[in-house]
């Protein structure tokens, strides 16, 4: 069953609950939820209603603050971690050196030819995301996505400066005054400062961080650094400060993909309809229960709705807009605590569980199922393959390019000469020396123009091109195209690397 179908299929009996509905939503200053927004004059466009979420306390809020501190801490601090790679080598642990075409990640150094590792990492990331989704729905969206993390940070700043939901709503409605101008200026200035810091940290991944910081401070940094900082300042400020939940709802493709990938056994934050309905006030609950009439635990206080950063009512069922952040759980648990009722009216649950309970059955938990096993196996397979290929990858590169014109030269003594461009890559720190030889052509002679075939130096962490000539004696009489193996031997370690090409000669 798709997310859309489930959203349709699983709404609680809202209409049957007397005190609920738009009027009650208005009483709590909550805009109509998206699902309830009618098409005006047949238009599919609905203007955005600004969401002013209420602060909550609880387990999920604490987890979110902790993850925010860890993820932002990593993002801002990593460029300053040093890593000794020897003289002449960059000493930054994580560095995307675009000038030299190198990606340094601690002791791993990737060259442009190693793009397969980047693809492997992307595949791994996608598989981990699929596994997270199969186990616990949009756990990435709710806790780790940069949009969520920065929006949370911006909301925190807004709350610090302008107050909680009630004060902010009052401020929104108030006419412009010196106080309102001062608060708004302070808020936007702080947002811009964070956004600028975010852009500033990003460029530090592309150059030596302490050097670039000094250059930026003295306005001597390269122009692209300023352009990148300005662009990221603008996007962070716009996305986290203004667009917020709209990025998740309208711009990000993941909710749609996630909805197609999920199933009834994935954990999601859900409202337990069987426990919550019918909704009645706390006062009436005791009365109704004493009279043997049904009364749910939900007191329709709207705390879960006002806490929601997406501005939705989780009691309407699983919705595309829900980023699964858990803040409605904290809000509801606080209410349940005050009413001395058990927590967990809203919490992690599965559709299968919900259906089982509705049918009078017990709890169903199926974290281990074909799709989770498949994702786990694929993750293990891709990760193992990448680790193996990283551990065994060659640190010497050899590529050979035959001259196109002329394909061969017949010399005055009847010998045949072919020309090649040989490119040697030394991916290790420190200069390396190599010896070049060829196989496949009897009595072939190799010459390196301007050098020695037995001693070809390549500086540390670089690529060197050599012009190489191969000669076949007149009496060798090779065919018009003979396969030729080029072999280089590292003079220090004896390790060899090979490449194939051909030797061209006139037809016998």
**Least spacing, CB of residue 342 vs ligand SF4, in Å:** 12
CB of 169 to ligand SF4, least distance (A): 18
Q: Which is nearer to ligand SF4, 215 or 246 (CB)?
A: 246
Nearest distance in Å: CB 371, ligand SF4: 23
What tokens were used for 162? 């302008």
Where do contacts with ligand SF4 occur on this chain (CB under 6 A)? Answer: 269, 271, 276, 298-304, 307-308, 310, 312, 314-315, 322-328, 331-332, 335, 345-346
Nearer to ligand SF4, 183 or 318 (CB): 318
β-bridge mates for residue 177, sequence order: none
Nearer to ligand SF4, 338 or 393 (CB): 338
Residue 395 CB partners (closer than 8 Å, separation 6+): 426, 427, 428
| Nearer residue to ligand SF4 within complex by CB, 307 or 488 | 307
Give me the least distance between CB of 40 and ligand SF4, in Å please: 25
Distance CA(442)–CA(229), nearest Å, equals: 61
d(CA 6, CA 233): 39
Residue 404: both structure tokens together: 């196109």
Q: Which residues contact 390 (CB under 8 A, 6 or more apart)?
A: 108, 117
Say if CB 448 and CB 456 are below 8 A apart. yes
**Residue 322 token pair:** 């829900």
Shorter beta-carbon distance to ligand SF4: residue 11 or 79: 11
Residue (209 or 327) nearer to ligand SF4, CB: 327
CB of 301: closest distance to ligand SF4 in angstroms? 4
Beta bridge partners of 397: 425
Question: CB 242 → ligand SF4: shortest distance, Å?
Answer: 18
Q: Closest CB to ligand SF4 among 299 and 446?
A: 299
For the stretch 331-340, contacts whose Cβ atoms lie closer than 8 Å and that sit 24 or more positions apart, written own/partner, are 331/54, 331/56, 331/58, 331/303, 331/304, 331/306, 331/307, 332/303, 332/304, 333/58, 333/59, 334/56, 334/57, 334/58, 334/303, 335/299, 335/301, 335/303, 336/297, 339/282, 339/297, 339/299
Residue among 169 and 382 whose Cβ is closer to ligand SF4: 169
Cα Rg of the chain, angstroms: 33
Nearer to ligand SF4, 228 or 343 (CB): 343
Q: Answer whether 274's CB lies under 8 Å from 358's CB.
A: yes
Q: Please, what is the minimum distance in Å from the beta carbon of residue 109 to ligand SF4?
A: 41
CB atoms within 10 A of CB 432: 25
Q: Extract the tokens encoding 201.
A: 């940290």
Q: In terms of Cα–Cα distance, which of 195, 58, 197, 70 is closest to 144?
A: 70
CB-based contacts of 42, cutoff 8 Å, min separation 6: none
Residues 6+ apart with CB under 8 A from 99: none
Closest CB 314 distance from ligand SF4, rounded Å: 4
Residue closer to ligand SF4 by CB (options 199, 296) is 296
CB of 312 to ligand SF4, least distance (A): 5
Helices (H) and strands (E) in the chain, counts: 18, 14
User: Which C-beta is closer to ligand SF4: that of 313 or that of 490?
Assistant: 313
How do 481-490 and 432-439 pair as beta strands?
Answer: antiparallel
What's the closest the beta carbon of residue 140 comes to ligand SF4, in angstroms?
Answer: 13
Q: What is the closest distance, in whole angstroms, from the C-beta atom of residue 315 to ligand SF4 in the complex?
A: 6
């Amino acid at each position: 069953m798709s997310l859309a179908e489930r959203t349709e299929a699983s709404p609680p009996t809202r209409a049957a609950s007397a005190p609920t509905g738009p009027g009650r939503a208005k009483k709590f200053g909550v805009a109509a939820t998206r699902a309830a927004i009618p098409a005006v004059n047949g238009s599919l466009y609905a203007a955005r209603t600004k969401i002013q979420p209420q602060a909550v306390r609880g387990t999920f809020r604490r987890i979110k603050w902790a993850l925010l501190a860890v993820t932002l801490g990593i993002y801002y601090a990593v460029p300053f971690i040093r890593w000794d790679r020897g003289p002449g080598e960059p000493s930054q642990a994580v560095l995307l050196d675009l000038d030299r075409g190198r990606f340094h990640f601690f002791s791993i150094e990737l060259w442009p030819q190693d793009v397969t590792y980047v693809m492997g990492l992307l595949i791994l990331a996608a598989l981990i995301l699929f596994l997270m989704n199969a186990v616990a729905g949009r756990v990435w969206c709710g806790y780790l996505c940069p949009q969520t993390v920065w929006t949370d940070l911006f909301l925190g700043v807004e709350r610090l400066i302008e107050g909680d939901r009630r004060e902010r709503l009052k401020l929104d409605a108030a006419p412009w005054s010196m106080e309102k101008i001062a608060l708004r200026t302070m808020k936007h200035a702080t947002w811009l400062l964070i956004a600028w810091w975010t852009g500033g940290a990003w460029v530090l991944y592309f150059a030596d961080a302490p050097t670039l910081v000094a250059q930026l401070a003295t306005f001597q940094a390269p122009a692209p650094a300023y352009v990148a900082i300005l662009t990221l300042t603008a996007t962070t400020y716009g996305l986290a400060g203004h667009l917020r939940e709209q990025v998740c709802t309208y711009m990000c493709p993941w909710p749609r993909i996630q909805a197609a990938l999920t199933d009834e056994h994935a954990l999601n934050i859900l409202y337990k309809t069987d426990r919550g309905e019918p909704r009645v006030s706390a006062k009436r609950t005791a009365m109704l229960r004493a009279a043997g009439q049904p009364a749910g635990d939900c007191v329709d206080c709207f705390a879960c709705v006002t806490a929601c950063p997406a501005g939705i009512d989780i009691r309407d069922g699983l919705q595309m807009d829900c980023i699964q952040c858990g803040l409605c759980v904290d809000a509801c648990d606080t209410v349940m605590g005050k009413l001395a009722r058990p927590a967990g009216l809203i919490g992690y649950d599965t559709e299968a569980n919900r259906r089982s309970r509705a049918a009078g059955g017990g709890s169903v938990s199926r974290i281990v199922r074909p799709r989770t096993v498949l994702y786990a196996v694929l993750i293990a397979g891709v990760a193992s393959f990448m680790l193996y290929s990283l551990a065994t990858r060659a640190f010497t590169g050899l590529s050979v390019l035959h001259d196109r014109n002329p394909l061969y030269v017949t010399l005055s003594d009847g010998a045949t000469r072919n020309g090649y461009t040989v490119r040697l890559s030394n991916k290790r720190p420190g200069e390396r020396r190599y010896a070049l030889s060829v196989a496949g052509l009897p009595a072939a002679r190799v010459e390196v123009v301007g050098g020695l075939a037995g001693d070809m130096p390549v500086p540390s962490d670089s690529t060197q091109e050599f012009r190489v000539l191969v000669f076949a004696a007149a009496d060798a009489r090779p065919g018009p195209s003979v396969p030729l193996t080029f072999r280089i031997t590292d003079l220090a370690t004896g390790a060899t690397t090979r490449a194939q090409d051909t030797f061209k000669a006139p037809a016998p």
